[in-house]
Amino acid sequence: MSELLANDLITPDAGESPLLSLSEVSILKAAPLTRLSLRARDASLKDAGKAFGAALPVNPLLAETSKKRAALWMGPDEWTLLAPEEDCQALFTAIEEKLGDQPHSLVDISDRSEAIIVSGEKASWLLNTGIFIDFSIESFPVGTVTRTVFHKSPVMVWRTGTDTFVVEAWVSFMEYVTGLLVQSAQELEVA
Amino acid sequence: MLLIYCPYCDVERAETEFHCGGEAHIARPSDPSQTSEEEWVEFLYMRSNTKGVAAERWRHIHGCGRFFNAVRDTVSDKFLKFYKAGETMPDLEKISKEAGK
C-alpha cells in the first residue's frame, strides 16, 4: 500500500469497496480524474508542458510526473494529461491560452475511461492473464505507460510502482476487464 | 503469434496490437481530375500479391496508433525489416538475399 500512497494523483475511490483483496494482489477502483488528450507538434511541447505543470515526455512509453500532474506518452504526437478532478476547467483554459494559435488539439476525455489500481506481488501475473507484454522490471520499468489490449478490450497500463499498476479502460469496458481479472484471480485462492 | 516491432514505440509487441494495412508504397494519383478510370482501378484495387519478400503497411492500432512499414516474407511470415512511414522503400532484393532466399 505504501507505493500507492506515494502517488498523489491516482488514489483509491474511498466510496468504493475493493473489487479484489487477496494477500497477493488487490484491485481498487481509482477516484475520478481529469484526463486531457493533447495532440501537438514538437514546437509546442515546451509551452504545453509549462501550462500543464509537468514536462511532456518525448521518449516512447514514458510518463513524466510532478506534484498532482502526470503527462503520459501515448504516441509520437499524442499525450494524455492527468490531474485532479477539480482542476479540469482551469487547466484546459491555461493550456489553450498558452498554445494560442499553434496547431494543436486538446480534448477533455475525463469521463471516457475509468482507472483501477492493481497492486501486490502477483499484480503483473494477474495482468498477464490477458495482456501479452513482458512485465519484468527490466523490460517494463516503473514509470512505463502503454496502450495495449486486455483480452479483447483496449486498455492503458501504467506502472507506478514495482508491484503497482494503473489500468484504464473505457467506462463501458471496465466491467469486462475487472470481471475477467477477478475471475482469473480465483486461481490464487485455490492454490 | 507474430511479434511485431513498432519503430515509433521502439518495442516488440504481439500481433493482436496491430492491424495490417496491405501493400506499402502505393502512391495516390496526384491529380485526381486528370486521372483515367483505368488508373483509378490500378490505384484502388490492383495489388502485386507477392509470394516472397514484400513491403507492407502496418498500424500499431492498440498502441501509439501510427502507421509504419515492414518488410515481410509472405511465405515464412518472417519479418525482415521495420521502418517508419515516409521513409523510402528499402531494396527488397538485397534484403531477401541477406535473409538467404
ipTM: 0.88
Contact B64 A60 (CB under 8 A): yes
- pLDDT recorded at residue A14: 87
The reply to whether A176 and A128 lie within a common domain is yes
pLDDT at A4 (0 to 100):
45
CA distance A78 to chain B (A): 8
Of the residues A108, A136, A164, which one is the last residue of a structural domain? A108
pLDDT digits (tens, 9 = 90+) for B15-42: 999 999 999 999 999 999 999 999 999 9
**Residue A67 and residue A85 in one domain:** yes
CB B93 within 8 A of CB B71: no
Statement to judge: residues A53 and A116 lie in one domain: no
B27 interfacial to chain A (CB closer than 8 Å): no
Contact indicator for B55, B34 with CB cutoff of 8 Å: no
B52, B101 contact by CB (below 8 A)? yes
Give the Cα separation of A122 and B97 in Å (integer).
46
Contact status of B76 with chain A (Cβ, < 8 Å): no
Yes or no, beta carbons of B9 and A154 under 8 Å apart: no
**CA nearest to A153 within chain B:** B62
Please report, for residues A17, A91, A146, A168, the alpha-carbon distance to residue A84 in angstroms, rounded to integers and kept in the order given. 21, 10, 21, 16
Q: Which structural domain, as residue segments, surrounds residue A66? A: 33-108
Contact B8 A146 (CB under 8 A): no
Segments of chain A with pLDDT less than 50: 1-6
Q: Tell me whether B85 touches chain A (CB under 8 Å).
A: no
pLDDT > 70 in chain B, percent? 99
Query: Which cell numbers in the block locate residue B23?
Result: 501493400
Please name the residue that has the C-alpha cell 501509439: B64
Report which of residues A161 and B101 the model is more confident about. Answer: A161
| pTM for the whole structure | 0.91
Whether residue A88 contacts residue A110, with contact meaning beta carbons closer than 8 Å, is answered with yes
Nearest by CB: B11 against A61, A74, A149? A61
Q: If residue A64 lies in a helix (H) or strand (E), which one and from where to where?
A: strand A63-66
**C-alpha angle A125/A130/A134, rounded to 5°?**
55
Interface membership of B44 toward A (CB under 8 Å):
no
Per residue in A156-175, pLDDT tens?
Answer: 999 999 999 999 999 999 99
Query: Do A15 and A70 belong to one domain?
Result: no
What residue has cell string 494543436? A104
- The CATH number of residue A149's host domain is 3.30.1360.120
Q: Map out the domains of chain B with their CATH numbers.
A: 3-27+44-98 (3.30.2270.10)
Separation of CA B26 from chain center: 10
Q: Which of residues 53-72 of B touch A (CB under 8 A)?
A: 62-66
DSSP state of A12: B
Shortest CB distance from A61 goes to which of B9, B17, B66?
A: B9
What pLDDT score does A3 carry? 45
